[in-house]
Amino acid sequence: MTDPNWNADGEIEGARREPGARPYGILLVDDEPGILESLELTLGSDYRVFKAESGEAGLEILNAEEIALIIVDQVMPSMTGVEFLEKAIERNPRAIRMLLTGYSDLGSLARAINEGRIYSYVTKPWEPDDVRLNVKRALETYELATENIQLAAALSEANERLRAENVYLRREVERRYAFDQILGSSPAMERVFDVMEKVAETDATVLITGETGTGKDLVARAIHYSGPRKQRRFVAQNCAALPDTLLESELFGHKRGSFTGAHADKKGLFEIAHRGTIFLDEVGETHPGMQVRLLRVLQDGEIRSLGASNSINVDVRVIAATNRNLLEDVAQKRFREDLYYRLRVVEIALPPLRERRSDIPLLAHHFLDFASRKMNRKIQGFTNAAMDRLVAAEWSGNVRELENEIERIVALSGDVETIGVEMLSERLRNEPPPAETPGEVPTDLPLNTAVDGLKRRMITDAIRETGSKTRAAARLGIPRQSLQKMMKRLGLS
């Protein structure tokens, strides 16, 4: 077995830095030149050795040279070794410090070691190999410490980067759920934005109603992320997704052993959302027992976990959503009336897409841009005929259905510039655009007046909903010029 400390000549090998790096610098301080000489002889072949015959001279070298290890004699005329090391620490705190000492002054030595001033000591007289080994170990310590400092610096830099990234991500999330992600310029949506803006600033409980896919989720998040609670949690729970007991434990938490399978205490979402917002999706699906518990939180801000003996207070803003007609459920005694009114402090009713067709072109383009970018396509837009179909479709799945339709088209589109009717899904292609509901047939008007009235309504609707006269004309099935003439005659601008 070869000892890694010994070289071929039977000497202790010096501590090596990585190949190519300068050997370590060692500062020797002693007032006896003979000792300096002999130490230099022991260490000079492996290291860069600097000699000083006094503490003062040693400090000057420390200022000028890169020193990894200091060996200093304890007994010197102008300053002691320990005094010298005190000063050396200020100049080069990382250098490893060793004391040369006779057995006579072990007392000061012990003190110096205890105070962490020195790493080790060499007693006079010394064995050259002892010194070499001691120095080698000391320099390995120095190397580790240096590496530690570098790692710590790298770590703190990485932390800094992560922190910056977190700030960025948080902003992203906020941006993602900010108002500007909710598109719509129809009067109906303008009204929705108006209410949202006002209500976001407050803690008022909000009930969001609307058919599936109308954007209830989106609106709930936007309210949270644009209000004063945005730094706190937004937690969402779909009340239809879980059986009763599980929903209860999810929302209110449970104590260990409160039911089979409750192996540990669990915090409920109301507690987790403290100071933030809880979103109770599909609140209309809750059972009577749950409705009572919800009422209690809304009234008193109190929750009690399953199996707990006490209630605790929470400060949570509640936003609820439903695609049911809750008022009808109240009438049918399926939903508690008191809870309904507690939830519906402010109601935001999202209109179905078919009642705001003028938003369809905007939404369609938005989803097209998004999907094109995601799938690396260069589609610019829709042909007029395709857009007419989109505007006129039924969209029982509302915005979500439109979004899916466009994503599907883009995925299957290949390399085209515009989306034509032939690329729409079969249902949209084949179903004739639903006729406008004519409404009541007027019985008290001359036929021509009544017909003109209907024409006026259909034309204004078509223009409002398609956003252009060309598309309106196409939708109405008449040439653009005829539309213009007709509008003039009917007094439409």
Ligand X SMILES: Nc1ncnc2c1ncn2[C@@H]1O[C@H](COP(=O)(O)OP(=O)(O)OP(=O)(O)O)[C@@H](O)[C@H]1O
- What is the contact surface with ligand X in residues (CB under 6 A)? 182-184, 210, 212-218, 323, 363, 399-400, 403
Backbone angles phi, psi at 347, to 5 degrees: -110, 135
Shorter beta-carbon distance to ligand X: residue 82 or 321: 321
β-partners of residue 347 are 207
Residue 57 partner contact from Mg ion, ligand X, none using kind-dependent CB cut-offs of 5 to 8 Å? none
Q: Where are the beta strands (DSSP E) in 242-361?
A: 253-254, 266-267, 277-281, 302-303, 312-313, 317-322, 346-349
Shorter beta-carbon distance to ligand X: residue 90 or 180: 180
Residue 183 partner contact from ligand X, Mg ion, none using kind-dependent CB cut-offs of 5 to 8 Å? ligand X
Closest distance to ligand X from the beta carbon of 225 (Å) = 14
Residue 229 partner contact from Mg ion, ligand X, none using kind-dependent CB cut-offs of 5 to 8 Å? none
Which secondary structure element, helix H or strand E, spans residue 13, and what is its range?
none
Shorter beta-carbon distance to ligand X: residue 25 or 210: 210
Closest distance to Mg ion from the beta carbon of 463 (Å) = 33
13 near Mg ion (CB under 5 A): no
217 near Mg ion (CB under 5 A): yes
Residue 226 partner contact from ligand X, Mg ion, none using kind-dependent CB cut-offs of 5 to 8 Å? none
Site string for Mg ion, 73-112 (x = CB under 5 A): ----------------------------------------
Shorter beta-carbon distance to ligand X: residue 41 or 241: 241
Residue 118, C-beta contacts closer than 8 angstroms, at least 6 positions apart: 82, 85, 97, 98, 99, 109, 112
Tell me the residue number closest to Mg ion, measured at CB.
217
Residue 403 partner contact from ligand X, Mg ion, none using kind-dependent CB cut-offs of 5 to 8 Å? ligand X
Pair 193, 182: CB distance under 8 Å: yes
Kindly determine how many residues on this chain lie close enough to bind Mg ion according to the rule CB under 5 A.
Answer: 2
Report the candidate in 443, 478, 431 with the shortest Cα–Cα distance to residue 458: 478
Shorter beta-carbon distance to ligand X: residue 81 or 352: 352
Shorter beta-carbon distance to Mg ion: residue 216 or 356: 216
Residues 280-299 contacting Mg ion, CB under 5 A: none
Tell me the residue number closest to ligand X, measured at CB.
215
Pair 359, 183: CB distance under 8 Å: yes
Residue 323 partner contact from ligand X, Mg ion, none using kind-dependent CB cut-offs of 5 to 8 Å? ligand X
Tell me which stretch binds Mg ion (CB under 5 A): 34-42, 120-128, 217-225, 465-473.
217-225
β-partners of residue 99 are 72, 121
* Amino acid making up residue 212: T
Shorter beta-carbon distance to ligand X: residue 129 or 197: 197
Residues 197-216 contacting Mg ion, CB under 5 A: 216
Pair 284, 320: CB distance under 8 Å: no
Closest distance to ligand X from the beta carbon of 362 (Å) = 8
Tokens of 421: 């009717």
User: 442 vs 452, 460, 486, 489, CA distance in Å?
Assistant: 12, 19, 21, 21
Closest distance to ligand X from the beta carbon of 242 (Å) = 16
Shorter beta-carbon distance to ligand X: residue 343 or 363: 363
Shorter beta-carbon distance to ligand X: residue 54 or 372: 372
Closest distance to Mg ion from the beta carbon of 277 (Å) = 15
Residue 210 partner contact from Mg ion, ligand X, none using kind-dependent CB cut-offs of 5 to 8 Å? ligand X
Closest distance to ligand X from the beta carbon of 401 (Å) = 9
Shorter beta-carbon distance to ligand X: residue 73 or 285: 285
Backbone angles phi, psi at 122, to 5 degrees: -125, 125
Residue 234, C-beta contacts closer than 8 angstroms, at least 6 positions apart: 221, 224, 225, 273, 276, 277, 279
Q: Where are the beta strands (DSSP E) in 2-104?
A: 25-29, 48-52, 69-73, 96-101
Distance of CA 216 to the CA centre of its chain: 22
Closest distance to ligand X from the beta carbon of 381 (Å) = 18
Residue 184 partner contact from ligand X, Mg ion, none using kind-dependent CB cut-offs of 5 to 8 Å? ligand X
Backbone angles phi, psi at 317, to 5 degrees: -85, 135
Closest distance to ligand X from the beta carbon of 348 (Å) = 11
Please count the other Cβ atoms lying within 10 Å of the Cβ belonging to residue 85: 23
For strands 69-73 and 25-29, give the pairing. Answer: parallel
For strands 312-313 and 302-303, give the pairing. Answer: antiparallel
Shorter beta-carbon distance to Mg ion: residue 219 or 463: 219
Pair 220, 321: CB distance under 8 Å: yes
Contacts with Mg ion by CB under 5 A lie at 216-217
